[in-house]
Amino acid sequence: MPTRVFRSSAYLSVNQAIETMCAQAQCHLATEKVIGTAALGRILAEDITAPFSLPPYDNAAVDGYGVRSGDPAESPRRVVCRAAAGAVADCSLGHGEAVRLFTGTPLPHGVDAVVMQEECQTEGDWVIIPSGVTRGDNCRIAGEDVRRGHKVLTAGTRLRPQDLGLTAALGLRSIPVRVAMRVALFSTGDELREPGVSLPTGCIYDANRYIISGCLISLGCHVTNMGILPDKETAVTAALQEAALSHDLLVTSGGVSVGEEDHVRAAVTAIGALHIWRVKIKPGKPIAIGSVANVPFLGLPGNPVAAMVAFLILCRPLVLTLAGRSFLPPALYPIQASFGLTRSPGRREFLRVRLEDGRATLCPMQGAAALSSLSHADGFADLGETVERVQPDDLIRFLPLTDLLW
Ligand code: AMP
Ligand code: MG
């Protein structure tokens, strides 16, 4: 692979950066079949079409009496048969007759409405049906939910509990899903220590590996914890080359700015390709994208808040695309701000906010290194590039963290 560093001269908007990143990305992961709840959270590898309709047959939506809607109301009808769920009423309904049915029972021939038992009066084998019964009342018609042969789930969907229910209802036992993407995750920096060891002056504990690992796991990736790399180009080079042999994605944090101790840049440049991107985002800079031995590489910023924002906002779409999942921009919810601020326009800003009384309240510490703001926050207030001020009660765009961690 030739040695290249790309430095985009123009600043990219957040959306341009996402589009550019995803444009070339493709999922190369294999497909496997999994059974039942093992498919939860996995990414569907093929479209699913319904082998039969749902419901498969016309059936009762309530416990009650099946009738002909055209029969005169309020005159007694003879109950000619009875069928509980799982059974079939062995009768054909004549005029002036009723059939005792329960929720889910197939509708016998002749029944075109079901009346709730609470609305009926019974005496022995007779039932009095109130007036106002209309054809189709409390009937579930075959195929009204899902039609045989129609697509019910699209390849690239991450399977949720209700999707497992749908495939089960269609009798599908083994589900084709993508194998989990293998991600090698490194932190870089001589100042970093693993929690649990003593902390010399001048050092800090590694927070980013826990944040980014948690984000990747939440997205369904299989993460290999590769530990802390020193600020030494040869060490970074060797570790990335080794990891590229057995992973689908390489992720680091720190070491990608312009300081002379930022060796990740130099290392990736020496063994692969690196694009340092200037993105109009705050926090979230600097961000480096590239590849080592044809394995995609993501270099996140060192500051923890910047690393998490860069990952969730800029890199998540790429990670999803590589994992075989369709990416839809997350929903932005209009919400009232409880705070006011003025700012220099130019960058899209993701402020950490908390929901209080239905309004967005600013978390106290907004610096790119202030970890407490992330734990305090329910999500981001997403301020557009051109926004110069926010006043209390203004409607702002809210992006819940939970929507990004799935
Ligand atoms: P760098 O981009 O390597 O210069 O890092 C920028 C800032 O982020 C420095 O203050 C680093 O100490 C800090 N930092 C880098 N990596 C981590 C990490 N894994 N956990 C916590 N802080 C970090
Ligand atoms: Mg560093």
Other residues' Cβ atoms within 10 Å of the Cβ of residue 222? 13
Mean of the per-residue pLDDT values of the chain: 95
Q: Is 233 in the pocket of ligand 1 (CB under 6 A)?
A: no
* 23 and 107 belong to one structural domain: no
Share of the chain above pLDDT 90, in %: 90
Phi and psi torsions of 118, nearest 5°: -65, -20
Ligand 2 mean position to 265 CA, how many Å? Answer: 11
C-beta separation of 263 from 232 below 8 A: yes
Quick one: which of 231, 257, 229, 261 has its CA closest to 243?
229
pLDDT band (50, 70, 90) for residue 87:
confident
Q: Is 304 in the pocket of ligand 1 (CB under 6 A)?
A: yes
The domain boundary residue, chosen from 322, 341, 374: 322
Q: Is 67 in the pocket of ligand 1 (CB under 6 A)?
A: no
CATH code where residue 42 lies: 3.90.105.10
* 168 and 81 belong to one structural domain: no
* 63 and 48 belong to one structural domain: no
Ligand 1 mean position to 205 CA, how many Å? Answer: 10
In the chain, how many domains are there? 4
The domain boundary residue, chosen from 127, 162, 178: 178
CB-side neighbour CA atoms (13 Å) of 254: 23
Share of the chain above pLDDT 70, in %: 98
CATH code where residue 395 lies: 2.40.340.10
77, with CB counted inside 10 A (0-12, 13-18, 19+), is: buried
Q: Which residues have CB under 8 Å from 194's CB, separation 6+?
A: 205, 206, 227, 228
pLDDT tens-digit readout, 264-290: 989 999 999 998 889 999 999 889 999
pLDDT band (50, 70, 90) for residue 3:
very low
- The DSSP symbol for 67 reads E
Q: State residue 9's pLDDT score.
A: 55
The residue assigned the tokens 């090698």 is: 184
Dig out the tokens for 406 from the structure: 């799935």
Ligand 1 mean position to 306 CA, how many Å? Answer: 10
Q: Is 187 in the pocket of ligand 1 (CB under 6 A)?
A: yes
Nearest ligand, measured from the Cα of 303? 1
Rounded distance, CA 143 to CA 53, Å? 5
Residue 115 belongs to some domain of the structure: yes
Q: Is 252 in the pocket of ligand 1 (CB under 6 A)?
A: no
Nearest ligand, measured from the Cα of 367? 1
Ligand 2 mean position to 42 CA, how many Å? Answer: 35
Rounded distance, CA 244 to CA 297, Å? 9
* 85 and 111 belong to one structural domain: yes
Rounded distance, CA 380 to CA 268, Å? 31
* 276 and 316 belong to one structural domain: yes
Domain residues for the domain of 387 are 333-404
Residue 6 belongs to some domain of the structure: no
* 233 and 310 belong to one structural domain: yes
* 304 and 399 belong to one structural domain: no
Residue 7 belongs to some domain of the structure: no
Ligand 2 mean position to 192 CA, how many Å? Answer: 9
Atom of ligand 1 nearest to the CA of 256: 2
C-beta separation of 267 from 240 below 8 A: yes
Residue 310 belongs to some domain of the structure: yes
* 189 and 270 belong to one structural domain: yes
Nearest ligand, measured from the Cα of 302? 1
DSSP assignment string, 190-238: TTEE-TTS---TT-EE--HHHHHHHHHHHTT-EEEEEEEE-S-HHHHHH
Asked if the model's pLDDT at residue 1 lies above 50, the reply is: no
Atom of ligand 1 nearest to the CA of 303: 8
Ligand 2 mean position to 282 CA, how many Å? Answer: 19
Smallest CA separation from ligand 1 atom 10, residue: 303
CATH code where residue 288 lies: 3.40.980.10
Rounded distance, CA 158 to CA 156, Å? 6
Residue 261 belongs to some domain of the structure: yes
Ligand 2 mean position to 326 CA, how many Å? Answer: 34
* 158 and 284 belong to one structural domain: no
Task: Name the pairing type of β-strands 272-277 and 4-7.
Answer: parallel
The domain boundary residue, chosen from 287, 303, 322: 322
C-beta separation of 295 from 25 below 8 A: no
* 92 and 210 belong to one structural domain: no
Atom of ligand 1 nearest to the CA of 306: 8
Mutate to test the pocket of ligand 1, among 253, 261, 262, 371 (most ligand atoms within 8 A of CB): 253
- Please report, as a single letter, which amino acid is at residue 182: R
CB-side neighbour CA atoms (13 Å) of 403: 14
pLDDT tens-digit readout, 381-398: 999 999 999 999 999 999
* 239 and 298 belong to one structural domain: yes
Residue 3 belongs to some domain of the structure: no
Residue 101 belongs to some domain of the structure: yes
- Average pLDDT (123-145) is 97
Rounded distance, CA 189 to CA 358, Å? 41
pLDDT tens-digit readout, 234-259: 999 999 999 999 999 999 999 998 77
- Average pLDDT (88-92) is 88
Q: State residue 257's pLDDT score.
A: 84
Nearest ligand, measured from the Cα of 304? 1
* 165 and 228 belong to one structural domain: no
Residue 328 belongs to some domain of the structure: no
Dig out the tokens for 126 from the structure: 């007779």
Q: Is 324 in the pocket of ligand 1 (CB under 6 A)?
A: no
Mutate to test the pocket of ligand 1, among 213, 260, 303 (most ligand atoms within 8 A of CB): 303
| Rounded (10°) angle between helices 233-244 and 263-271 | 50
- Please state the pTM of the whole predicted model: 0.93
pLDDT tens-digit readout, 338-356: 999 999 999 999 999 999 9
Rounded distance, CA 297 to CA 252, Å? 8
Atom of ligand 1 nearest to the CA of 254: 3
Ligand 1 mean position to 94 CA, how many Å? Answer: 80
